[in-house]
Amino acid sequence: MRRIPLLLFLLLTSEKDFANALRSGKYCFQGCELSINYVSFNDTGPASKKAASCLSGLRTRSLYLCVDEYCSAGGRDEWLRGANETCQRIANTSMLPYDIIAEYGPDERNAIKRLSTDEAFVYPVLGNVVLPDQAFFERAFKTLDAAFYEYEIHLVYGWAMYYFWAIVISIGIGSRLVTLIQSIRHREWHRVPTDFDEPNQCRGGGASGGLPVLLKRYITVPATFGSRCSQPIGWCTIPPRIQSLTILAFVMLNIVLCTFDYRVTHGNLYWPRECIQLWRYVSDRTGIISLANFPIIWIFGMRNNVLMWITGWGFGTYNSFHRWVARVSTVQAVVHSVGYTVMVCERGGWSSFKKHLGKHYFWNGELATIFMCALLAFSVYGLRRSHYETFLVLHIAFSIVVLLTMYYHVEIFTDGEWNIFIYPCLAVWLLDRFLRALRILIFHLRLWDTKATATYDPSSNLVYLNVPCQKSSGKPQPGTYYYIYMLDNLLYAHQNHPFTLAYVANDKIQEAEDTGHLFPRDPSPRRTSSPDSIESDSLLSSSAPSNTCPSMVFLVRPYDGFTSRLAQKASSGPAVTRVFIEGPYGHTAPLRDYANVLFVVGGTGIAVPLSHLAHLLDDGSAVTNLHIIWAVREHAFLASVCESHALLRDERVYLKAHVTQDEENKDDVMDEGLKRVKVEAGRPDVHAVIEEAAVEAGHERLAVMACGPAQMADETRRACVDVLGRGFGGVEYFEESFKW
């Protein structure tokens, strides 16, 4: 703890010495007031100290003489007016006019007693006018000048947080615009039926060489260190390099703004000990910046975050920003609290601390810091991952406690001015909740009547969740996700989890409900009926036959909690359950603009390419080559996907499935006549796949999208960086995942 002030001392701004020059500004007048206040004069009756300072002619004369001696005239009338108004208010009396000191000629002035600091410190009672000596006045002036400078600069640095994120967001918007313009240009070129490449460009540089490729290779695509990005390292996850750099810049900014620009003055009258003075400034600075960070934490943590759709960055990106701003803010709060505790104890030891703990603002502040630390402790990756529901409940409860205690902590200062940082948090939070409710309502106006059908398929260990979608909810977009609430058990009704929309099916709802067979049509791989007879396979763009209702299909792998309850419910046949559907969230990655698209997916990650298929294959899409590499454990899952998606038969599509388990069904070769489907045993070699795709794409643009187990996504990311390094500049990496 002793180290911190020492370190900070090195960064102090130098003090300029103004000896013998007139001081200017309001702190000069107030400096005179501060020094004269050490003295009491005996020309007033038994009045209160405040009133006496207005009533005493000796004091007013002393004050005016001090101002005349040490201060330049600028701003003096304004100061006088203010002081006069104060006296009118508190003592119903006017200050004497300023020119009363004209009666003091040079000789009289020289004869006036000069008060030294030591003499002032005994709080004398005097019967004549007095002047602070030069040194005493300087100490008073510098005390005020530094204290008020700090007071103002703390807030300036607090606002700097907003400038920082405004710049980050602007860069995000800028790069999005550039991408948009590029994709429009690409699209236009595509209308011209020729290759738009230069013939000498075969490998190096690709379609967009130079800086953009270097940026992709070293900044935007790679993991921060090595290749672990989706996979945790110990107790934490490290975001992609571009995010880490942003976070690093933010942390550095906070360190800098908390460590410099402290005007510690020698002989300060408020805090004579310099280390206490520094504690005071550091504590105030960290406290204010910590508070200024609050609204940012809330904005970044919300599901309905406007910034998400302006910048196109996903929930995961803002979530890592949310976590880091919160961490920084918490460290600042701890420094703030430690600082004040040190100062209080220095003044009067333990008993003084106990006395302060009795003060409303003080114990609220201590509580706020403690709960902020608890929030941090209960948000570690391990707990988030393994006990998500517990994490969420604690997170919300503790956040409420922090907001409340913070409110009472800052309420007493400057008429609640600091609450400008508290109310936005509340507003953002309420708005988010409101928008969530609104989305649920828009999805289906008859809230109570939204029913989903869950069908469990044991052979692929998968729940197909079928939700009829109303016309009102708009056309579902590929790559979007929805939060699903299950309402059948009120105890768990508040729980909701995100699922990527897999595809839209046109099922005969009536019939399905009657027979209890909604989806999937028999998922067994031995199914014999021709796939062409399946009605529900046409995807997003298909038009619904008149007697059918389109429904959205989610693929849910039962793990624990929410998903296992769903599987249990459906274990003995298709189950109809009441749900809330909140969405859609997320945006569609611009894969349509790429001539080549490669999906690297694992397990239920297949939902992502399925949801994109129709969109990527319709008119106006630039895609000529669509590869899907799919690692899947169960043969039955593979079979059901193949037979229910006619678009997989499009000649632009090539699906390679790697069946990694399910040994006994290994020999169930596809008998569907899908020429462009290849099945292999064992995990795919992600590296080789990406390299092959890059070589095949050559100078054309290639979009690689990963959705699957963390390790798989990280390998894909890594492989993309490698091929970028080998000159395939047209490669772009996308990832679809949820990081909590």
Ligand X SMILES: NC(=O)c1ccc[n+]([C@@H]2O[C@H](COP(=O)([O-])OP(=O)(O)OC[C@H]3O[C@@H](n4cnc5c(N)ncnc54)[C@H](OP(=O)(O)O)[C@@H]3O)[C@@H](O)[C@H]2O)c1
Check residue 520 for interaction with ligand X (CB under 6 A): no
330: Cβ–Cβ under 8 A, 6 or more apart, which residues? 290, 369, 372, 373, 375, 376
Q: Which residue from 51, 80, 334, 710 is in contact with ligand NAG, where contact means CB under 6 A?
A: 80
220: tokens are 């935007």
- Measured CA to CA in angstroms, residue 63 lies from 70, 83, 135, 295, 411 at distances of 11, 11, 16, 45, 35
Contact segment (CB under 6 A) with ligand NAG among 89-97, 243-251, 520-528, 626-634 equals: 89-97
Residue 78 CB-density burial (10 A; 0-12 exposed, 13-18 middle, 19+ buried): exposed
Residue sitting closest to ligand NAG (CB): 127
595: Cβ–Cβ under 8 A, 6 or more apart, which residues? 622, 623, 624, 625, 697, 700, 701, 702
Check residue 596 for interaction with ligand X (CB under 6 A): no
128: Cβ–Cβ under 8 A, 6 or more apart, which residues? 58, 112, 113
Contact segment (CB under 6 A) with ligand X among 117-125, 159-167, 366-374, 705-713 equals: 705-713
- Measured CA to CA in angstroms, residue 351 lies from 1, 356, 365, 370 at distances of 21, 9, 18, 21
CB 157 within 8 A of CB 289: yes
Q: Which residue from 55, 591, 597, 607 is in contact with ligand X, where contact means CB under 6 A?
A: 607
Check residue 385 for interaction with ligand X (CB under 6 A): no
Check residue 533 for interaction with ligand NAG (CB under 6 A): no
Rounded Cα–Cα distance for residues 22 and 28 (Å): 9
Min separation Cβ 478 and ligand X, Å: 12
Min separation Cβ 127 and ligand NAG, Å: 2
Min separation Cβ 483 and ligand X, Å: 12
Which of ligand NAG, ligand X, none is residue 707 near (CB under 5 to 8 Å by kind)?
ligand X
Min separation Cβ 45 and ligand NAG, Å: 9
CB 555 within 8 A of CB 606: yes
Which of ligand X, ligand NAG, none is residue 724 near (CB under 5 to 8 Å by kind)?
none
Check residue 84 for interaction with ligand NAG (CB under 6 A): yes
- For residue 566, which amino acid is it? L
Check residue 127 for interaction with ligand NAG (CB under 6 A): yes
Find how far residue 505's CA is from the centre of its chain: 36
Min separation Cβ 335 and ligand X, Å: 37
* CA proximity to 232, closest of 376, 378, 375, 382: 382
Check residue 33 for interaction with ligand X (CB under 6 A): no
Site for ligand X in 220-249 (CB under 6 A): none
Of 100 and 401, CB closest to ligand NAG: 100
- Return the ∠ at Cα 102 (arms to 100 and 108), rounded to 5°: 110
Check residue 94 for interaction with ligand NAG (CB under 6 A): yes
Q: Which residue from 14, 20, 92, 546 is in contact with ligand NAG, where contact means CB under 6 A?
A: 92
Min separation Cβ 740 and ligand X, Å: 10
Count of residues touching ligand NAG (by CB under 6 A): 10
- Give the start-end residues of each E strand in 72-178: 113-115, 125-126, 130-132
Check residue 317 for interaction with ligand X (CB under 6 A): no
Which of ligand NAG, ligand X, none is residue 572 near (CB under 5 to 8 Å by kind)?
none
Of 115 and 452, CB closest to ligand NAG: 115
Of 88 and 390, CB closest to ligand NAG: 88
Contact segment (CB under 6 A) with ligand NAG among 49-57, 84-92, 227-235, 367-375 equals: 84-92
566: tokens are 């769903």
- Taking the CA of residue 645 as centre, how many other CA atoms within 13 Å lie in the half-sphere pointing to its CB? 29
Check residue 468 for interaction with ligand X (CB under 6 A): no
Other beta carbons less than 10 A from residue 377's beta carbon = 12
Min separation Cβ 344 and ligand X, Å: 49
Min separation Cβ 526 and ligand X, Å: 21
Q: Which residue from 5, 531, 550, 602 is in contact with ligand X, where contact means CB under 6 A?
A: 602
Which of ligand X, ligand NAG, none is residue 42 near (CB under 5 to 8 Å by kind)?
ligand NAG
Rounded Cα–Cα distance for residues 554 and 481 (Å): 9
Contact segment (CB under 6 A) with ligand NAG among 94-102, 365-373, 523-531, 616-624 equals: 94-102
* CA proximity to 551, closest of 502, 496, 589, 511: 502
Min separation Cβ 680 and ligand X, Å: 11
**Share of the chain residues as helix, strand and coil, in percent rounded to the nearest 5:** 55, 15, 30
Which of ligand NAG, ligand X, none is residue 622 near (CB under 5 to 8 Å by kind)?
none
Site for ligand X in 477-496 (CB under 6 A): 481
- For residue 166, which amino acid is it? A
- Main-chain dihedrals φ then ψ at residue 598, nearest 5 degrees: -125, 125
Residue sitting closest to ligand X (CB): 603
Contact segment (CB under 6 A) with ligand NAG among 80-88, 146-154, 404-412, 531-539 equals: 80-88
Rounded Cα–Cα distance for residues 129 and 114 (Å): 10
Of 271 and 585, CB closest to ligand X: 585
Contact segment (CB under 6 A) with ligand NAG among 87-95, 239-247, 306-314, 355-363 equals: 87-95
Which of ligand NAG, ligand X, none is residue 557 near (CB under 5 to 8 Å by kind)?
ligand X
Q: Which residue from 95, 291, 308, 465 is in contact with ligand NAG, where contact means CB under 6 A?
A: 95
Of 98 and 270, CB closest to ligand NAG: 98
Which of ligand X, ligand NAG, none is residue 631 near (CB under 5 to 8 Å by kind)?
ligand X
575-585 and 451-457 strand pairing: antiparallel
Rounded Cα–Cα distance for residues 262 and 147 (Å): 10
Find how far residue 27's CA is from the centre of its chain: 40
- For residue 64, which amino acid is it? Y
Helix residue spans in 571-632 (DSSP H): 607-617
Min separation Cβ 14 and ligand NAG, Å: 39
Of 187 and 565, CB closest to ligand X: 565
- Taking CB under 6 A as the rule, which mask of x and - marks residues 664-683 in contact with ligand X? -------------------x
Rounded Cα–Cα distance for residues 286 and 299 (Å): 21
Which of ligand X, ligand NAG, none is residue 607 near (CB under 5 to 8 Å by kind)?
ligand X
Check residue 42 for interaction with ligand NAG (CB under 6 A): yes
Radius of gyration in angstroms for the set of CA atoms belonging to the chain, rounded to a whole number: 35
Output DSSP code: residue 463: E
Q: Which residues pair with 550 in a beta bridge?
A: 506
Find how far residue 700's CA is from the centre of its chain: 35
Q: What element of type H or E holds 234?
A: none
Residue 194 CB-density burial (10 A; 0-12 exposed, 13-18 middle, 19+ buried): exposed
CB 443 within 8 A of CB 430: no
Rounded Cα–Cα distance for residues 666 and 152 (Å): 72
Check residue 46 for interaction with ligand NAG (CB under 6 A): no
Check residue 661 for interaction with ligand X (CB under 6 A): yes
Check residue 319 for interaction with ligand X (CB under 6 A): no
CB 310 within 8 A of CB 173: yes
342: Cβ–Cβ under 8 A, 6 or more apart, which residues? 1, 276, 279
Check residue 97 for interaction with ligand NAG (CB under 6 A): yes
Count of residues touching ligand X (by CB under 6 A): 25
Check residue 603 for interaction with ligand X (CB under 6 A): yes
Which of ligand X, ligand NAG, none is residue 536 near (CB under 5 to 8 Å by kind)?
none
Check residue 631 for interaction with ligand X (CB under 6 A): yes
Other beta carbons less than 10 A from residue 357's beta carbon = 12
Which residues contact ligand NAG by CB under 6 A?
Answer: 42-43, 80, 84, 88, 92, 94-95, 97, 127
Which residues contact ligand X by CB under 6 A?
Answer: 481, 500, 557, 602-605, 607, 631-633, 660-661, 683-684, 686, 707-709, 711-712, 715, 736-738
